Each structure stands twice: as C-alpha cells, then as structure tokens.
C-alpha cells in the first residue's frame, strides 16, 4: 500500500500507535449505491483516472450490458438495496459486531431538480429507494436480534 500511495498514506510514530491502540470505537458507513469492481492491475480496458490508478480497480454499474440495478438520474448511481445489506452484514461479522452508524445515504438529486413542493412530496423514485434501503437495514438488525447479538 505504501509503495502505491507513497506520502499520501499517513505514518504514525510508535507513541501515536500506542495511543491509538489499534482499536476502533465505531464504524461509520457512507453508502449510496453498489457497483461492480473491475481489476485494473491484470485486465485491459480500464478507464484512466486518479481513482482508478490509486485503487488499481474501476467501478462499473453494468455487467454484460445489464445494469446492477435500476438507474437514477445520475450516472454511476443505481438503486441496489442488497448492497447495503451485504455491506452491513460483512462489517458486523468482520469487526465482531462493533457499533456502526450509517452516516450518509440517499438518493441523488437529478440535475434539473424539482420545480415545486408537490414534486418533492411525491418523489416516488426517492421514496422507493429509501424504503428499499431501510427495509434491508431493518432485516439485518432483526437477524442480529434473533441471534442474541447486540446490533
């Protein structure tokens, strides 16, 4: 990692490492969409860009021409509620049920936006997005409670 990112990756003194104790208090999750990942280290055809070069991977919302989920008004944003369920479940298991907070989530605003209050109040795409994502998070919480773990 250090070889790839160089000075952009922070370093910590032994004292700073001791103070941190390699412990996390909680995990914050920012999740808006889910994409497929494409290897850019050994595969050809990856788009160029700083993010792609740093990660040695690229994100795409399609596989074999089929979108990962319903598209939104923004490119590279798809509605994929299963993605947040899988992410929360993975983090819960990987980090031994460490407290986590969904710190950011939401449906993207299209460029034109709404023109009046009624459009805001009846934005069915946004309502369906939030319903789908919250339903999946609730499913994980219920599964944790039924297994006698603390969410």
Residue of 104, 111, 112, 119 marked active site: 104
Predicted confidence (pLDDT) per residue in 31-79, tens digit: 999 999 888 878 777 777 656 667 778 888 999 999 999 999 888 999 9
Per-residue pLDDT, averaged over 4-30, amounts to 87
Counted domains in the chain? 1
Is residue 151, in this structure, part of any structural domain at all? no
Predicted confidence (pLDDT) per residue in 93-115, tens digit: 999 889 999 999 999 987 666 67
pLDDT at res. 111: 67
Is residue 85, in this structure, part of any structural domain at all? yes
Residue range of the domain that includes 48: 25-146
Is residue 44, in this structure, part of any structural domain at all? yes
Is residue 94, in this structure, part of any structural domain at all? yes
pLDDT at res. 114: 66
Is residue 9, in this structure, part of any structural domain at all? no
Is residue 122, in this structure, part of any structural domain at all? yes
Q: How many residues does the chain have?
A: 151
Q: Cβ neighbours of residue 90 under 8 Å, at least 6 residues apart? A: none
Is residue 99, in this structure, part of any structural domain at all? yes
Which whole-number Å values give the CA distances from 36 to 26, 28, 64, 77, 136, in the listed order? 27, 22, 11, 12, 19
pLDDT at res. 118: 82
pLDDT at res. 23: 81
Indicate if the pLDDT at residue 13 is higher than 90. Answer: yes
- Is the Cβ–Cβ distance between 61 and 71 less than 8 Å? yes
pLDDT at res. 73: 83
Is residue 6, in this structure, part of any structural domain at all? no
- Taking the complete model, does pTM exceed 0.95, yes or no? no
- Catalytic (active site) residue 111: no
């Amino acid at each position: 990692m250090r070889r790839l990112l160089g000075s952009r990756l922070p370093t910590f003194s032994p004292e700073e490492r001791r103070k941190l104790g390699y412990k996390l208090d909680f995990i914050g999750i920012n999740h808006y969409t889910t994409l497929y990942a494409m290897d850019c280290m050994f595969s050809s055809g990856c788009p160029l860009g700083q993010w792609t070069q740093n990660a040695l991977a690229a994100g795409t919302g399609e596989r074999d021409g089929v979108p990962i989920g319903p598209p939104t008004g923004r490119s590279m944003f798809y509605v994929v509620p299963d993605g947040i369920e899988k992410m929360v479940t993975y983090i819960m298991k990987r980090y031994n049920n460490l407290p986590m907070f969904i710190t950011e989530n939401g449906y993207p605003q299209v460029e034109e936006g709404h023109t009046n209050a009624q459009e805001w109040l009846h934005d069915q795409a946004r309502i369906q997005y939030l319903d789908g994502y919250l339903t999946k998070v609730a499913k994980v919480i219920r599964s944790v409670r039924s297994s006698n773990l603390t969410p």
